[in-house]
């Protein structure tokens, strides 16, 4: 089997052609359909699937390469992780709970760096694993930056009632306004967390969260959020330097 000749696969070929076509200056949906010589309806599903998984991003109808490719190539993840690590270590030193920095990949949250608590019972955050943007605290921070239309469509796709959607909408409005998110046992009853955004050039590029056992951390979340504001500011400053942007 390993020595058999490789054969082209139509779907794979279309996906790679889409990625190659947008790599330079981007492309619109109708342009991709022309390049692929395929119906726009067929190309639409592939393109939207690549957007959802972070391999493409859309900007005013033009599609460009997305951050998921960077994750595969280990860039720019290491720069963000390196810039965030001193802040993560400071938070761990002060509160001795697990700290992590998360980014959005498509419609998912992934943690790119973490410093775990030294306590026997602690939260452990696997890296590079996709998880929902809602209700993790870091995901709430990132999701709150979306347009209302896109945010609400996402919420309706994951929540099972209108009441739950309305509650999440109100919460995310508050997160966007106040710059802090909380998760009090919503993902796992035994785990709670708080998160704040890392803002570089008026853009939220990531979020830092502190998480731990609910019984130990839930009453300290407001206190942690105060220190978290200082840490995210310092990380943003580090990312704003030429070395941090490379």
pLDDT in tens, 189-200: 999 999 999 999
CA angle 47, 53, 57 (to 5 degrees): 55
CATH number for the domain including 149? 3.30.450.40
Answer whether 88's CB lies under 8 Å from 208's CB. Answer: yes
Torsion angle in degrees (nearest 10) through CA of 226, 232, 234, 240 = -150
Same-domain status, 161 and 179: yes
Cα pseudo-dihedral 173, 226, 231, 76, rounded to 10: -20
| Closest residue by Cα to residue 138 from 102, 178, 179 | 102
Please tell me whether residues 54 and 126 are part of one structural domain: no
Contact (Cβ atoms closer than 8 angstroms) between residue 86 and residue 78 = no
31 and 126 in a common domain: no
Q: Same structural domain for residues 14 and 97?
A: no
Range of the domain at 216: 72-245
Q: Per the structure block, which two tokens stand in for 24?
A: 């330079």
- Residues 54, 78, single domain; the answer is no
Q: Indicate if 140 and 42 belong to the same structural domain.
A: no
Give the residue-averaged pLDDT of 9-16: 89
Question: CA-to-CA distance for 206 and 203, rounded, in angstroms?
Answer: 9
Q: Which residues contact 166 (CB under 8 A, 6 or more apart)?
A: none
- For residue 103, what pLDDT is reported? 95
Residues 67, 206 contacting (CB under 8 angstroms):
no
| Mean pLDDT of the chain, nearest integer | 90
- Residue position matching structure tokens 């890392």: 198
Q: What is the CATH number of the domain that holds 21?
A: 1.10.10.10
SS3 167: helix
The answer on 133 and 34 residing in a single domain is no
Same domain, 50 and 95: no
* 56 shares its domain with 89: no
| pLDDT confidence tier of residue 236, bands split at 50, 70 and 90 | very high
pLDDT value at position 75?
46
Paired tokens of 201: 């050039």
Q: Residue 5: inside a domain, yes or no?
A: no
pLDDT score at 71? 63
On whether both 108 and 177 belong to a single domain, the answer is yes
Residue 23 pLDDT grade (very low, low, confident, very high; cuts 50, 70, 90): confident
In a domain, 158, yes or no: yes
Looking at the fold, whether 136 and 154 belong to one and the same domain comes out as yes
Average pLDDT over residues 180-189: 97
d(CA 85, CA 88): 5
65-94 pLDDT, tens digit per residue, is: 988 876 665 544 448 999 999 999 999 999
Same domain for 210 and 226: yes
Domain count, the chain: 2
Work out the pLDDT band at 7, boundaries 50, 70, 90: low
């Amino acid at each position: 089997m390993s020595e058999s000749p490789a054969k082209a696969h139509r779907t794979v070929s279309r996906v790679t052609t889409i990625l190659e076509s947008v790599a330079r200056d981007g492309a619109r949906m109708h342009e991709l359909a022309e390049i692929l010589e395929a119906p726009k309806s067929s190309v639409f599903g592939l393109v939207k699937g690549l957007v959802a998984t972070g391999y493409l991003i859309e900007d005013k109808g033009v599609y460009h390469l997305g951050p998921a490719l960077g994750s595969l190539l280990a860039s720019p993840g290491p720069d963000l992780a390196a810039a965030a690590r001193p802040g993560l270590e400071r938070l761990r030193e002060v509160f001795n709970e697990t700290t992590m920095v998360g980014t959005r990949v498509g419609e998912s949250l992934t943690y790119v760096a973490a410093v775990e608590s030294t306590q026997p019972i602690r939260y452990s955050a696997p890296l590079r694993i996709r998880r929902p943007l809602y209700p993790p605290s870091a995901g709430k921070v990132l999701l709150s930056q979306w347009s209302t239309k896109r945010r609400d469509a996402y919420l309706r796709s994951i929540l099972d009632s209108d009441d739950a959607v309305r509650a999440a909408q109100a919460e995310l409005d508050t997160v966007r306004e106040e710059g802090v998110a909380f998760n009090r046992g919503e993902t796992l009853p035994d785990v709670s967390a708080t998160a704040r955004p890392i803002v570089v050039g008026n853009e939220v590029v990531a979020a830092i969260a502190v998480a731990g056992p609910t019984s130990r951390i839930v009453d300290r979340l407001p206190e942690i959020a105060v220190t978290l504001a200082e840490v995210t500011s310092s990380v943003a400053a580090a990312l704003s330097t030429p070395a941090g942007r490379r």
